[in-house]
Chain A
Amino acid sequence: MAIHGLWVINKAGGLVYQRNFGDGLPHLTSNEYLVLAGTLHGIHAITSRLSPTGSSSGAQEICGETFKLTILLTATGTKFVLLTSLVEPNAGSVLQKVYEVYADAVMKNPFHTPEMPVRSEGFDARITALIGSG
């Protein structure tokens, strides 16, 4: 029951927000996170084409042996990715709340440029309130 990290990926596959919580996973350099986010964006697109039965969404949950990534794709193409331990039943609802916070603190901010990295203290503070500090 631990949340390791949160990513926000814009519709072009760029990482616009990344934050670690705790030391459950090693902290990588920001460049490595950018590459991983780009990879995930591509994989997500391919997974929706591999469906053996009719149409499919992209990957929603990717599991390793000790952690998983839960992915929320919004209608506008922004992806919210939560890195958690394997047993984290409410990862989906946390992501939904992150989306709400993002809509309030980022998209309604007149000084924010769409598709650009999120640098907003308000967003940071509200994420801290939601998930905890890290």
Chain B
Amino acid sequence: MTIHSLYIYDRHCVCVYYQDWHRTKGPRPAAAAGGILPAVSPAVYPRQEEPTLESASTYSSPRNTLTSSSGVVVAINDEPRTPLPPQMQTSATQSQNPSSILTFDEEAKLVYGVVLSLRNMVRKLSGKDEQFVNYKTSSYKLHLYETLSGYKFVMLSDPNADSLRFVLRQIYSGPFLEYVVRNPLMKMDSREHGIDNEYFRMSTDRMIRGLTVFQ
């Protein structure tokens, strides 16, 4: 039993936060010209060390500068110094065919698409305003919690885990409200900045690591 990853989307369908724990198959870093915002997660930005995986346009793109910290907003860390141990994903990633692994921005869009389609499907089938809760495959389980303001919290866990909706709700009512909503330096709904900051990441991390399903 374990927890693999957490995605947070805002109401504009944009991934504003990402964090992962036990992922043996990590995403490739996002394409530089593609769509991820700064301050989503330090783990998935285009990396200079992997020139073979990216197209040539990666390095000529002026948008690369977005990942460097511009110092506009003090409390938002583009590269937070998190106490997380280095991921064990690198060795596993390299052993697989790189083209079969999605880049992070593709993956984030697919997750959002699946969640949105299933939400509409459940709503249609139930005939009332029923929410989609989770789905399960042979190797993982995806949980969704949607707030009234349109934020979607998506978590991938072990397939045998019980419903983790309450955990997502706790993340919302605890760290999210405390360190994102009540953070005066955080531009909510900006469409150009994620919500990653050191306090939010640490406190989410502590909360997840304290769960019994997390091992």
Chain A residues near B (Cβ < 8 Å): 25-26, 28, 32, 36, 39-40, 42-43, 46-67, 83
Contacts and interface: CB of A to CB of B under 8 A. Distances in A.
B136 interface: yes
A32 B127 CA distance: 12
Contacts of B140: 50-53, 56
Interface residues of B, number: 36
A132 B130 CA distance: 26
Residue from A32, A48, A49, A67 having most chain B Cβ neighbours under 10 A: A49
Contact of B131 (A43, A59, A65): A65
A56 B137 contact: yes
A60 B142 CA distance: 12
Given A52-B4, A53-B4, A56-B138, A47 B114 contact: yes
A66 B121 CA distance: 14
B20 A66 contact: no
Given A36-B125, A52-B23, A64 B138 contact: no
A42 B116 CA distance: 13
A42 B117 contact: yes
Given A46-B110, A46-B114, A49-B110, A62 B131 contact: no
Describe B's contact surface by its main secondary structure.
Answer: mixed
Contacts of B121: 36, 39-40, 43
A61 to B, nearest CB: 5
Contact of B5 (A52, A62, A63, A66): A52
Interface string B18-61: 00101111000000000000000000000000000000000000
Given A39-B117, A50-B107, A64-B132, A55 B139 contact: yes
A48 B111 CA distance: 11
Contacts of A40: 121
Contacts of A48: 137
B101 to A, nearest CB: 10
